[in-house]
Structure 1
């Protein structure tokens, strides 16, 4: 049964709100208290994604990421007419969460805004690869704990360099609330490029023919006239 668009959009808004409230929210708490540590922040991101997928995937697919919506559309697994409404819901959810964080904490920790710590080229390349691997995993598995674990892994590795966004909505909300737009284009273009590469890789890795799963009987390989 197809879920009504209104319910799917509500799920995307709520899911993306949760991602920004808990993910960048953890970065803000870390900046204020130092209690979580870098790995703690990465774990919060991963656990949030796991919970959101488990709870909301039956309603909307739990994309909570314009790059994920783009990838699924390219792969032919998502209707094109729902792309813009989904992305709009994701951006609204991210923005609302970021402004809630602003009301709670002020501009502490720049509200988790994603800014390159090195060169723009380094950030662009890293965000492309991070998104590529995340969405390749999502396309080939989709299990909540697998996708959430991948997010935590990549946040642990890439967070200090780029913020490990992999998600234009995740970067957009905190940027709008904090007013920090440094190299913001990187956090749109690189994830979309990574998404396209993930779709291409998944297509290449997927079998074109039915793979034989049962071994043929031994006698089928015995030359005619020889005993089995």
Structure 2
């Protein structure tokens, strides 16, 4: 089946598959942001009360994000493709794997999931606002932008290689684990510099609830550029053109 770019059929907006996939993206993004942002708040409290080592704190945060994303992708990959990230959705949209309508639904669900997660964390903490993301002192905005582009490129490239490539074979069974691990590794690399978001939804919910907008544009522009580059490069330079194309998430069963 050839690569296909489509806006989406008229009935796709109300099709049960679209609703189920959108709900899956909302819940999975909620799971990921709740655990990820919660790990920052929890570790902050632990180290204020007992003191601690910043290196071990970074490892704990990276592990929390890796495990949370592993669970979130696993929970939704069979329903929505397990994007849990507007940058992943953007990369698959440019690669012709989903329609524009489906992408818009996913983006709305991902942002809402992040907002609800941040709201619940803030309410649970009572007086502590969500931490959010920002560029560390001494690190320029452009350096943060480049970091986000490179890290998100690695993330979306891994998504393509393990979850989307038609020739992935049995490798697809470890896709959620591989995706979680690359995010955890990138947190270790970029966390001290810009927080290592790689995900506009992950950055947006805490920023909105905590009203922390410093350097926020980086966490949209960087991941979207990185995701777009990974999607286009993998689609057109890595996947052989003669391999039959199977969409990452079908528009609706009657299409096939």
Shorter-chain TM range is 0.7 to 0.9
Corresponding residue for residue 19 of structure 2? 6
Corresponding residue for residue 122 of structure 1? 143
* 1:206 aligned residue (239, 245, 248): 239
- Structure 2 distance, partners of 1:50, 1:191, is 19
Q: How many residues align?
A: 208
In the TM superposition, what are the counterparts of 1:79-228 in structure 2 within 5 Å?
Answer: 79-106=99-126, 108=128, 110-117=129-136, 118-142=139-163, 143-202=175-234, 203-208=236-241
CA contact (8 A) 1:25 1:112 kept: no
Q: How far did 1:163 drift? A: 1.0
What do residues 24-50 of structure 1 show as CA deviations (whole Å, max 9, x unaligned)? 110111111137711011011011111
- Structure 2 distance, partners of 1:107, 1:30, is 16
TM-score, normalization: structure 1? 0.86
- 1:57 and 2:54 are equivalent in the alignment: no
Q: Which runs of 5+ in 2 are unaligned?
A: 1-14, 164-174, 244-256
- 1:16 and 2:45 are equivalent in the alignment: no
CA contact (8 A) 2:41 2:130 kept: yes
Corresponding residue for residue 225 of structure 1? none
Q: How far did 1:95 drift? A: 0.2
Q: How far did 1:122 drift? A: 0.7
Q: How far did 1:76 drift? A: 0.8
- Structure 2 distance, partners of 1:192, 1:85, is 17
CA contact (8 A) 1:128 1:193 kept: yes
Q: How far did 1:55 drift? A: 1.6
What do residues 44-71 of structure 1 show as CA deviations (whole Å, max 9, x unaligned)? 1011111111121111111111111110
CA contact (8 A) 1:155 1:163 kept: yes
Q: 1:107 to 1:153 in 2, by over 3 A?
A: farther
Corresponding residue for residue 31 of structure 1? 44
CA contact (8 A) 1:23 1:48 kept: yes
Q: Which has the higher contact order (CA 8 A, sep 6+)?
A: 2
Q: How far did 1:205 drift? A: 2.4
Q: Which runs of 5+ in 1 are unaligned?
A: 211-228
- Structure 2 distance, partners of 1:185, 1:150, is 23
- Structure 1 distance, partners of 2:210, 2:74, is 30
Secondary structure of the structure 2 residue equivalent to 1:204: helix
